[in-house]
Amino acid sequence: MGSGTGSEEPLGGASRGGNPQGGWDLGAEPPHPGPGPAGAPCPAGGILCPVVWALPGPGPRVQQGSCRARGRVNGGHAEEFGVTEYPTLKFFRNGNRTHPEEYTGPRDAEGIAEWLRRRVGPSAMRLEDEAAAQALIGGRDLVVIGFFQDLQDEDVATFLALAQDALDMTFGLTDRPRLFQQFGLTKDTVVLFKKFDEGRADFPVDEELGLDLGDLSRFLVTHSMRLVTEFNSQTSAKIFAARILNHLLLFVNQTLAAHRELLAGFGEAAPRFRGQVLFVVVDVAADNEHVLQYFGLKAEAAPTLRLVNLETTKKYAPVDGGPVTAASITAFCHAVLNGQVKPYLLSQEIPPDWDQRPVKTLVGKNFEQVAFDETKNVFVKFYAPWCTHCKEMAPAWEALAEKYQDHEDIIIAELDATANELDAFAVHGFPTLKYFPAGPGRKVIEYKSTRDLETFSKFLDNGGVLPTEEPPEEPAAPFPEPPANSTMGSKEEL
């Protein structure tokens, strides 16, 4: 009747997916989790198979290999190299078995090949004259050139290390005084050239502290983003990799001319918030229902604005409901950033029969009143409708409610945490079980043991504490990070 304890899988499970960067896009497919049956095929592995057997051209030869690390098939390799999900790629250099490099790049043939090229060959092109520089700049949308007066300086090593992994940009470097002069530079500078917005962004190297890898990385990620990005499957990963915590979303119907006219004002407001707020356009006429659902919106609400902070997962809406203009957008952003706008919380309506069944139905609007009733001991299951493990434990939860339905001081309840948000705390896993004991103080006890009727009963009978003979919680199985959100951005527990 139980469903185990402790293990986790990505938001939405295999059928729904979760964005690995975290955020409000729930449409991405997660990596295939931990070991399965011996020799079982990995669904994502087929994407990687036809990548490369050897990179063309001069230089060290790179070969692709594969290892079935499941069950008894090369199981020792999985343990030796710390393989916990599939597919996993590791790069071994010069026969070094003990320190392979973990592959962290894109999972497509072109991305893998480029990641390898930048490790077996130069990660940046050496530029000797203006013609070479202009050819490089003209051939790509995003080009980064490091202007260094001494190519033996340690700052150059920092620059090249970053170039190995920034695969969406092309890198060059030079020490030629004529090129410094040609591009109006007098000291070491990293310059991002781009074929949109202002066209160029300069990052001067600090003469005392040198080139900081983290600072340069943040600069390039921020300035490589368009001031306004339209959300789609191609831009999703870059939006959440930008490391800008505040996202301002303009929901419009791109098939309507009146809505398209609003884009100019949206773009006009964007520059002053670069690096602080990421401006994103969401077309409600496209396949973006999951984004609308996350913000509790219907397509008919467009045009409208929403701002979300990815760290706190708090969402904000304009309070006046006025027209969407550059001035109103600017005022809204300033108000949110200055703490002048209260976040809003999603809630379903209270069902008329919410308390008629053994398992009571809670929503955002009645949660506080029920859970923190000082005369009741309330045991709540926070679930997601798509969560397979929530479904597996449902019979045990129903049986528990039936067993204690005649106890006036005990309430067994459930809350759909994908459609209801709470101000009291964030929900970080599905299912999450919390016990709210009677009495003052708004106490909350999280239940982390076996999910079966017997153990639930012992927990309740013992006043919200398990007897000491209960075994400790089993460690969680490793899975990829889901989108960070107090409700829809949670992990699913086994």
pLDDT digits (tens, 9 = 90+) for 285-338: 999 999 998 898 999 999 999 999 999 889 999 988 789 999 999 999 999 999
By DSSP bridging, strand 429-430 and strand 491-493 are parallel
Same domain, 404 and 376: yes
Domain region containing 144: 125-224
Task: Please report whether residue 408 resides in a domain.
Answer: yes
Does residue 14 form part of some domain?
Answer: no
3 state SS for 270-286: CHHHCCCEEEEEEECCC
Pairing, β 8-9 against β 277-283: unpaired
Tell me the pLDDT tens digit for each residue of 427-481. Answer: 878 999 999 999 999 999 999 999 999 999 999 999 999 887 555 554 443 433 4
pLDDT (tens digit per residue) in 19-33: 434 567 654 444 444
Number of domains in the chain: 4
Asked if 260 and 330 sit in the same domain, the reply is yes
CA distance 14 to 299: 27
Q: Kindly report the pTM of this predicted structure.
A: 0.68
Q: What is each CA distance from 133 to 137, 157, 171, 418, in whole angstroms? A: 6, 20, 11, 51
Can you tell me the mean pLDDT for 95-110?
A: 78
Q: Are 4 and 493 in contact (CB under 8 A)?
A: no
CATH number reported for the structural domain that contains residue 407 in this entry: 3.40.30.10
- The whole-angstrom separation of Cα 263 and Cα 368 is 40
Q: Does residue 18 form part of some domain? A: no
115 with 140, same domain: the answer is no
The pLDDT value given to residue 490: 41
In this structure, the answer to whether residues 47 and 108 fall within a common structural domain is yes
Q: Among 65, 88, 121, which residue terminates a domain?
A: 121
∠7-361-353 over CA atoms, to 5°?
A: 155
Mean pLDDT to the nearest integer, 145-149: 98
Number of Cβ within 10 Å of residue 310's Cβ equals 22
Whether residues 474 and 365 share a domain: the answer is yes
Whether residues 392 and 300 share a domain: the answer is: no
- How far is residue 286's CA from residue 281's CA, in Å, rounded to a whole number? 11
pLDDT band at 47 (very low <50, low <70, confident <90, very high): very low
SS3 353: coil
Which residues, at least 6 apart from 468, have a Cβ–Cβ distance to it below 8 Å? none
Confirm whether 206 is domain-assigned: yes
Rounded Cα distance between 346 and 419, Å, is 6
On whether both 59 and 150 belong to a single domain, the answer is no
Is residue 1 situated within a structural domain? no
Same domain, 286 and 372: no
* Residue 110 banded pLDDT, cuts 50, 70, 90: confident
Q: Is residue 156 part of a domain?
A: yes
In a domain, 6, yes or no: no
- 277 pLDDT more than 80: yes
pLDDT at res. 492: 42
Mean pLDDT value across the chain: 83
Residues 220 and 240 in one domain: no
The reported pLDDT for the residue numbered 483 is 41
Q: Which of 414, 416, 422, 407 lies closest to 376 in space, CA to CA?
A: 407
Same domain, 266 and 319: yes
